Amino acid sequence: MDLVSPDTEQNMKRQQATAEMAYASRQLVANLIRVVRGAGRPFQLGDQCADFLNAAQVYRAAHGVWPTEEMHDWLSVRGKADERNLVENAYAEKMSGVDDIIAGSLQVAASRMLDQRAQAAAAEREMALGIDARERALDAMRRAIQLEAKTREAADRRRSPRTKPKS
């Protein structure tokens, strides 16, 4: 008697293959980024490449195709939009600016490796826009904090009884 249907078993294999592929991708890319910036563990790259290729083969066997769109999700360094909806506007804008700085920085690094000056220049503009957006958001956050402090002080003054100074 088979307790697990073949469909469920295939689904479990797909889920496992997807999880392993996502993990191997992140491990390899994260280490590559660290190596590019002058840190990381270059001695692990060979094993991580092999793990990535093995996971890719298992993924293809389970799904019938190579991962494509999923790779963007697994390897994205941008903050999640849902998380941003839970925070205040200025904070979300600040994090969006940070995302642009990170994306631009990675593009600058890749463009420098391939001596692609036009792409590097575009990436530097993306970084500059991200820096500007982050600074505007930080200014808005500072103004909001100052306004809140002034409002609190005014409310405290209204609540406290006015006493005459002793003579």
pLDDT by residue (tens digit) across 104-155?
Answer: 999 999 999 999 999 999 999 999 999 999 999 999 888 888 888 888 888 8
Q: Would 3 be classed as within a structural domain? A: no
Distance CA 153, CA 149 (A): 6
Burial of 160 (0-12, 13-18, 19+ CB in 10 A): exposed
Neighbouring C-alpha atoms within 13 Å toward the C-beta of 88: 8
Distance CA 80, CA 96 (A): 10
Distance CA 123, CA 107 (A): 6
Q: Would you place residue 165 in the very low, low, confident or very high pLDDT band (cuts 50, 70, 90)?
A: low
Same domain, 71 and 81: no
Among residues 33, 58, 76, which one ends one of the domains?
Answer: 76
Amino acid letter, 85: N
Among residues 76, 109, 130, which one ends one of the domains?
Answer: 76
Same domain, 40 and 95: no
Residue ranges making up the domain that contains 34:
11-76
Same domain, 68 and 111: no
Say how many domains are in the chain. Answer: 2
Distance CA 111, CA 151 (A): 49
Q: What confidence tens digit (pLDDT) does each residue in 20-43 have?
A: 999 999 999 999 999 998 888 999
Among residues 56, 76, 96, which one ends one of the domains?
Answer: 76
Same domain, 64 and 110: no
Judge if pTM exceeds 0.85.
no
* Higher-pLDDT residue of 82, 97: 97
